[in-house]
Chain A
Amino acid sequence: QITLKESGPTLVKPTQTLTLTCTFSGFSLSSGRVGVGWVRRPPGKALEWLALIYSDDDQSYNPSLRSRLTITKDTSKNQVVLTMTNMDPVDTATYYCTHRDFGEYYFLYWGPGTLVTVSS
C-alpha cells in the first residue's frame, strides 16, 4: 500500500525559503525509475505541477519556477524534499506530494496536502 505525507511549516514570511518534506511508504525510490513529484493548488486557483524526482536522481522542474525550486531525495529515509526560495504571498497554496510509477506520467497516489501561507 502506497502512502505519502507532506510536512513542513504552515507559515513562512516573504523572501524566506520554504522546505517541505514528503515521507512515503509502500515503494522504494532507489530503483525502478519510479518518481515522487510535487503539485500545488493556491486558494481558488488551478493545480500546478512543480517538480519530479526519479529513482535514478534525474529531476524535472516547472520551467516557470525552475530558478526557485530544488528537489532532492533521501532513499534511506524514504523522503523527498522540495525547497522553494524567495517565497511570496502568491505562493500561498496547498502543496501535495505524489507518486509516479515506472514509465507512467500520471499521479494515482497523493499525500493529504499541507497548506502553506506566506505572510509577514
Chain B
Amino acid sequence: QSALTQPASVSGSPGLSITISCTGTTSDIGHYGYVSWYQQHPDKVPRLLIYNVNSRPSGVSSRFSGSKSGNSASLTISGLQAEDEADYYCMSLTTSRTLVFGGGTKLTVL
C-alpha cells in the first residue's frame, strides 16, 4: 500500500491559519470516514488531534479541525501558536483492513 500524500512542509505566521492536505484513494480516505490526524514534536510521542475525520478527543484545542472531500482530507489549525510547530500525520483505514499513514508534514511557525 502506498503512503497517503501530504505536503512535506507548510508554514504560517502566529495568529493565522494553515491547512494541511492528505490525499489518498478510493481504497482508503475515499471509502471510509476513518481519517485521523496526529501531532508529533521532536522526540515526543505522537498525539491524536482528530479522529473520524472531524472529531476532537477531550483536551484537544478547538483550533484544530478536520474535514474530508472525496479522496482527500484536511487538517486546519487556526490561530497559529509557536507550540504548534511540529510534524503532522494523517492516517486512514483501507479497504484491506490495514492502516496507512501519510508521509508527514513539517509545520514551521514563522
A interface residues with partner B (beta carbon < 8 Å): 37, 39, 41, 45-49, 52, 60-64, 96, 104-108, 110-113
Contact = CB atoms under 8 A, between A and B. Distances in A.
B87 to A, nearest CB: 8
Report the 5 A-B pairs with minimum CB-CB distance, sorted nearest first.
A106-B36, A106-B51, A46-B104, A105-B34, A105-B93
B104 to A, nearest CB: 4
Nearest to B99: A49
Given A47-B38, A105-B34, A106-B34, A61 B99 contact: no
Given A105-B32, A108-B51, 13 more contacts: A46-B3, A46-B102, A47-B89, A47-B101, A49-B98, A60-B97, A63-B98, A64-B1, A106-B34, A106-B36, A106-B51, A107-B46, A110-B45
A107 B48 CA distance: 7
B96 interface: yes
Q: How large is the interface on B (under 10, 10 to 19, 20 to 34, 35 or more residues)?
A: 20 to 34
Interface centre among A45, A105, A112 (most CB of B within 10 A): A105
A49 B100 contact: yes
A106 B45 contact: no
B76 interface: no
A47 B34 contact: no
B103 interface: yes
Given A46-B3, A60-B97, A62-B98, A105 B46 contact: no
A4 to B, nearest CB: 10
Contacts of A62: 1, 98
